[in-house]
């Protein structure tokens, strides 16, 4: 749904721009623990400036921008001319979406450093929003250095030229920009939008068509070209453009609504009809691309600025929500999914993702209630049903999850390779509820749909070996899974443990040692290796591995068995407590498909 670039690695470009702006890659932190509540004003007032500074730095390192902004807000009042505090506060306000406050700090920062490039970009955006187009160009001229910075500043300057009534100058400015090959799509796209907004339909169509030919999988470009076609009187071209996109990326809600409206004879509005919307489109396109390629911090800044410039942009809220979700900032993702207006074609998708994020944030009951409500209103919406099934499975409510997967499977007219996960996950749920016949049937069906799927090969093969049936076929399946995923410690653990179950202890030790190298902190794998060591006579090492497994927070039943083995050894432990068949590999180990 977003603008893609194809020839330069965006992640590297993002880091380059961060360096140009004087920011480190970890400006907003490198980890994302659970978000704490923002501190109260009274609490901050009681704290010393040094305490607030340390708290702000810690909150920033944890990417808790709400708390960091509160602390920096207090610090700016105490140290209104401290450049370091102003800059950190400025960056935090941008990331938190407090753009008006960021604008104020940008004005202070350029007085300290006239070449502060991100401040110039923000001031340029502010000037475009307030229709001060000459001022916008003056700021943006000093905002660009490096591939992404130059592209964003030039395209935004072009939109300011359009605001000044100079569409031709705006297009000339875009065309004069030199840079990497991936600039071309952005240049043609924005030149086309400017020309169409200026009423120059013929030239606009050429540029939008050129942009679409570069990448016909880019929703915004395809939508803009189809709208242009409909507005130019070629409804058939508009319909065929939308239909071609739907074949490649089916069921996009925005495309489906636009296609329905064009088929009904409705005239679509301009994609962009103001400089503020144009600047927002620039920042949205770059922010979305950066977010997909690992440049989350800069993407967050660009997307927040885009939202501020154009609150009605149809994709900014969901793109921000997706970015927050990827950063594991679930509270912020929830807020953005809730912000999607009820009239948006993306509302149903947003509500489903809302339920998923509520569960990720530890609000299982609310998540389930949200998804149940969606399903009640849309009983044939497979996405919501599968989301509910996944949430239930993650909470180990396997019987309920199996029922939900069955509802989804019952909606299938003819299962395809894309549906293998439904059978796989239902099969794992059946296995957990001791319905092996049903589980085996589903796992076989998943393998029929996706013959070389390593997760299914591993699960079914291990299950057979563990039960002492189909041993040769089961081992072959696990070996194939390992061949397909040679660096997956969980799969190698399955192979090692399968060797153990059939009494090939030397082979088990070899594979389990490899698995521990790849997953040194995994309790189950260390436990398995301890058992294998014991069987080959390496009893001191066995106890060492069992102790390590105990330190890595095993499940309660596994902890009791570990304590017993450490105390009396494996042979005596198995005499005292009858050995239970080992459970098949967990879905978590399989990576969730």
- Tell me the domain boundaries of the chain: 10-263, 454-576
Tell me what percent of the residues of the chain surpass a pLDDT of 90: 80
227 has pLDDT over 90: yes
Cα three-residue angle 339-341-347, rounded to 5 degrees: 95
Task: State the pLDDT confidence band at 22, using cuts at 50, 70 and 90.
Answer: very low
pLDDT value at residue 52: 77
pLDDT of 585 reads 61
Calculate the dihedral angle through the C-alpha atoms of 227, 229, 231, 235, rounding to the nearest 10 degrees: -100
- Give the best-scoring range by mean pLDDT among 26-40, 142-156, 527-541: 527-541
CA distances from 178 to 19, 162, 392 (A): 21, 20, 52
Closest to 278 (Cα-Cα) out of 222, 197, 369: 197
Q: What pLDDT shows up at residue 157?
A: 98
Per-residue model confidence (pLDDT) at position 576:
66
The larger pLDDT score, comparing residue 44 to residue 66, is at 66
**pLDDT value of residue 62:** 81
Gap between the Cα atoms of 300 and 532, Å rounded: 49
**pLDDT band at residue 55, thresholds of 50, 70 and 90?**
confident
What is the pLDDT confidence band of residue 45, given thresholds at 50, 70 and 90?
low
Mean pLDDT of the chain: 89
Pick the CATH number of 10-263 from 1.20.1730.10, 3.40.50.2300, 1.10.760.10, 1.25.40.10: 1.25.40.10
Quickly state the pLDDT bin for 18 (edges 50, 70, 90): very low
250 burial via Cβ count (<10 Å: 0-12, 13-18, 19+):
exposed
Give the Cα separation of 143 and 456 in Å (integer).
52
pLDDT reported for residue 294: 85
Specify the pLDDT at position 58. Answer: 85
| 3-class DSSP string for 378-431 | CCCCHHHHHHHHHHHHHCCCHHHHHHHHHHHHHCCCCCCHHHHHHHHHHHHHHH
pLDDT computed for residue 566 by the predictor: 96
Q: Quick one: pLDDT band at residue 497, thresholds 50, 70, 90?
A: very high
pLDDT band, residue 168 (cuts 50/70/90): very high
pTM for the whole structure:
0.84
Of 273, 342, 280, 350, give the one whose Cα is nearest residue 313. 280
Tens digits of residue pLDDT in 323-336: 999 999 999 999 99
pLDDT at 20 over 70: no
pLDDT computed for residue 550 by the predictor = 96
φ, ψ of residue 136 in degrees (nearest 5): -60, -50
Task: Calculate mean pLDDT across residues 223-249.
Answer: 96
Same fold, 10-263 and 454-576: yes
Q: Is the pLDDT of residue 577 over 50?
A: yes
pLDDT of the residue at 293: 86
pLDDT of residue 6: 27
* Model pLDDT, residue 590: 40
Does 365 score more than 70 pLDDT? yes
CA 163 and chain centroid, separation: 35
**Reduced to 3 states, what is the DSSP secondary structure of residue 18?**
helix
- Is 432 a residue whose pLDDT tops 90? yes
Contact 112, 90 (CB under 8 A): no
Res 145: pLDDT: 82
In angstroms, the CA 201 to CA 193 distance is: 10
- Chain Cα centroid distance, residue 47: 36
User: 454-576 domain in CATH 3.20.20.70?
Assistant: no
Q: Which of 29-33, 157-161, 288-292 has the lowest mean pLDDT?
A: 29-33
Distance CA 290, CA 300 (A): 9
């Amino acid at each position: 749904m977003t603008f893609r670039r194809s020839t330069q690695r965006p992640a590297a470009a993002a880091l380059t721009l961060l360096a140009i702006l004087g920011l480190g890659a970890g400006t907003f932190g490198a980890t994302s623990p659970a978000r704490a509540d923002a501190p109260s004003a009274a609490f901050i007032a009681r704290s010393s400036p040094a305490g607030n500074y340390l708290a702000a730095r810690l909150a920033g390192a944890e990417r808790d921008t709400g708390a960091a902004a509160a602390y920096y807000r207090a610090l700016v009042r105490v140290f209104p001319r401290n450049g370091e505090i102003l800059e950190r506060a400025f960056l935090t306000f941008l990331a938190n979406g407090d753009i008006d406050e960021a604008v104020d700090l940008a004005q202070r920062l350029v007085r300290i450093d006239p070449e502060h490039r991100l401040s110039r970009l923000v001031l340029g955006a502010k000037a475009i929003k307030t229709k001060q187009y000459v001022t916008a160009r003056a700021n943006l001229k000093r905002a660009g250095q490096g591939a992404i910075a130059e592209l964003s500043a030039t395209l935004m300057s072009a939109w300011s030229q359009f605001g000044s009534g100079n569409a031709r100058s705006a297009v000339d400015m875009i065309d004069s920009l030199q840079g990497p090959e991936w600039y071309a799509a952005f240049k043609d796209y924005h030149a086309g939008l400017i020309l169409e907004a200026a009423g120059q339909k013929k030239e606009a169509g050429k540029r939008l068509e050129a942009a679409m030919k570069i990448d016909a999988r880019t929703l915004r470009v395809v939508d803009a070209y189809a709208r242009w076609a409909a507005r130019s009187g070629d409804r058939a071209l508009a319909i065929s453009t939308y239909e071609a996109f739907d074949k490649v990326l089916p069921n996009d809600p925005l495309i489906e609504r636009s296609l329905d409206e064009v088929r009904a004879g409705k005239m679509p509005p301009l994609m962009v009809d103001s400089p503020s919307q144009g600047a927002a489109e620039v920042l949205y396109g770059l922010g979305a691309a950066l977010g997909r390629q690992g440049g989350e911090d800069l993407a967050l800044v660009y997307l927040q600025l885009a939202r501020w410039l154009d609150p009605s942009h149809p994709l900014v809220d969901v793109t921000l929500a997706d970015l927050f979700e990827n950063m594991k900032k679930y509270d912020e993702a929830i807020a953005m999914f809730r912000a999607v207006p009820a009239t948006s074609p993306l509302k149903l998708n947003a509500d489903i993702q809302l339920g998923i994020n509520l569960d990720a944030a530890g609000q299982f009951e609310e998540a389930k209630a949200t998804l149940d409500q969606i399903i009640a209103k849309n009983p044939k919406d497979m996405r919501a049903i599968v989301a509910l099934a996944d949430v239930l499975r993650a909470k180990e409510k396997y019987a309920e999850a199996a029922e939900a997967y069955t509802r989804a499977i019952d909606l299938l007219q003819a299962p395809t390779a894309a549906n293998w996960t439904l059978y796989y996950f239902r099969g794992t749920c059946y296995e957990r509820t001791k319905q092996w016949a049903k589980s085996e049937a589903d796992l076989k069906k998943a393998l029929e749909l996706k013959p070389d799927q390593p997760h299914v090969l591993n699960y079914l093969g291990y299950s057979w070996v563990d039960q002492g049936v189909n041993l040769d076929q089961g081992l072959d399946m696990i070996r194939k899974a390992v061949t397909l995923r040679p660096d997956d410690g969980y799969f190698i653990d399955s192979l090692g443990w399968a060797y153990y179950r059939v009494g090939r202890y030397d082979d088990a030790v070899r594979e389990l040692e490899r698995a521990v190298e790849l997953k040194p902190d995994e309790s189950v794998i260390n436990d398995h290796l301890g058992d294998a060591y014991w069987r080959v006579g390496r009893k001191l090492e066995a106890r060492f591995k069992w102790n390590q497994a105990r330190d890595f927070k095993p499940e309660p039943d596994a902890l009791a068995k570990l304590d017993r083995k450490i105390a009396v050894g494996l042979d005596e432990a198995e005499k005292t407590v009858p050995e239970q068949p080992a459970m098949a590999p967990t879905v978590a180990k399989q990576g969730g498909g």
